[in-house]
Amino acid sequence: MSKEAESNRNPALQFVIALAVVLGGIAVGSIVVMRQEKPSVNQVRPGLTRPPKASVFDTNEMVWIPGGTFWMGSDEGQTDERPVHAVTVNGFWIDKTEVTNEEFEKFARATGYVTFAERKPDPKDFPGVPVEKLVAGSVVFSPPPGEVPLDNHYAWWSYVPGANWRHPEGPDSTIQGREKHPVVHVSWDDAMACARWAGKRLPTEAEWEFAARGGLARQPYVWGKEQVPGGKWQANIWQGRFPNENTAADGFKGAAPVASFPPNGYGLYDMAGNVWEWCADWYLPDYYAHSPKENPPGPDTSFDPNEPGAMKRVQRGGSYLCSDLYCIGYRPSARMKSTPDTGLSHTGFRCVRSK
């Protein structure tokens, strides 16, 4: 996306763009893990937890994911999950959990960083828009009182002035008591800034999916085959009639403290559900048809047929808003996308590092 295009946003447009986040591809699929390489020379194994180096994020330990080859994508999911193709990734460290509010606060305090949602839109970028309309804010899930058609996303998303990571539901809300919750309302640029400060980076889409699968072969979920094994929910998603009935059968109506559910085979928490996670890659729906087999870095451009002209980055993992009626985005092959300047109340990130 050009700089000009990136800046050519206003809150209303940002809201529209944000809606695309809940539109992404979703369906049921299955995947195959082909082969897991032997532990690397330093004898680390999947699931081994240790901080790789001194990190400013001392509360979020990282897990070593050995390199390997796997089947990426799904032939049963959305079109953009196809074709299933063999991908090899080098080993990497990945955060055991999503970045939490208390971790993001360390970054903000140390650097004085102001997130996109906290910045007042620059009148220069919005000629003709009354100054009083240019207010900082973000898009918040605001469920309607009754059932609504699932083709109108305005029915459950609202642009809320004053909403940002410190005030997830608006100016009167706080993150007090939610220190261990994943940070939300962070744009891709915000996530990148935080990752760089921590000496880390965002995962590529391939790294993310490889890690999410946890070494399992041909399983539709990061924990295996059954959605609710033994009647026990394995991820923070949505139960009930979306978007007005949230039964919270999994124990959480909104975001949950990280690691509230069992980890996957690599010891990683919330690779399904809780909040969407930004990846480094640009989004192209047909990237898999021609992506390199080894360490695909993502395309160098972006296109979303649902919103031509908007360059988007990939998000993965689904969120507490993923309902089987609407969005099965918590499957490991499901892909989501949004413009880099978009923050939402169900989107966060986790980081990786190569060594």
Binding site for Ca ion (CB under 5 A): 236, 250, 252, 320
Closest contact distance (angstroms) between CB of 7 and Ca ion is 36
Nearer to Ca ion, 77 or 273 (CB): 273
Tell me how far, at minimum, the Cβ of 320 lies from Ca ion, in Å.
5
Q: Which token pair is 50? A: 């240790």
**Which residue, 207 or 277, is less far from Ca ion as judged by CB?**
277
Smaller CB separation from Ca ion, 26 or 206: 26
Q: Which is nearer to Ca ion, 231 or 309 (CB)?
A: 231
CA dihedral for 62, 65, 67, 70, sign (positive or negative): negative
- Contacts with 61 (C-beta within 8 Å, 6 or more apart), sequence order: 49, 50, 51, 95, 96
Closest approach of Ca ion to the CB of residue 277, in Å: 17
Alpha-carbon separation of residue 136 from 22, 84, 160, 201, 284 (angstroms): 22, 41, 9, 27, 29
User: Which residues, other chains included, contact 259 with Cβ-Cβ below 8 Å and sequence gap of 6+?
Assistant: 96, 97, 269, 270
Q: Would you say 159 or 252 has its CB closer to Ca ion?
A: 252
SS3 content of the chain, % helix, strand, coil (to 5): 20, 15, 65
Angle at 97 between CA 92 and CA 99, to 5 degrees: 100
Cβ neighbors of 176 (< 8 A, separation 6 or more) are none
**Least distance to Ca ion, CB of residue 255, Å:** 9
DSSP state for residue 88 in the 8-state scheme: E
Nearer to Ca ion, 81 or 250 (CB): 250
Q: What is the DSSP string of 135-154?
A: --EEEEE---SS---TT-GG
| Closest separation in Å from C-beta 331 to Ca ion | 16
| In the complex, minimum distance from the CB of residue 236 to Ca ion, in angstroms, rounded to a whole number | 5
| Least distance CB 252 / Ca ion (angstroms) | 4
Q: What is the CA radius of gyration of the chain?
A: 19
Q: What is the DSSP letter of 287?
A: G
Q: Which amino acid is at 262?
A: P
Q: Which is nearer to Ca ion, 274 or 338 (CB)?
A: 274
DSSP structural state of residue 221: B
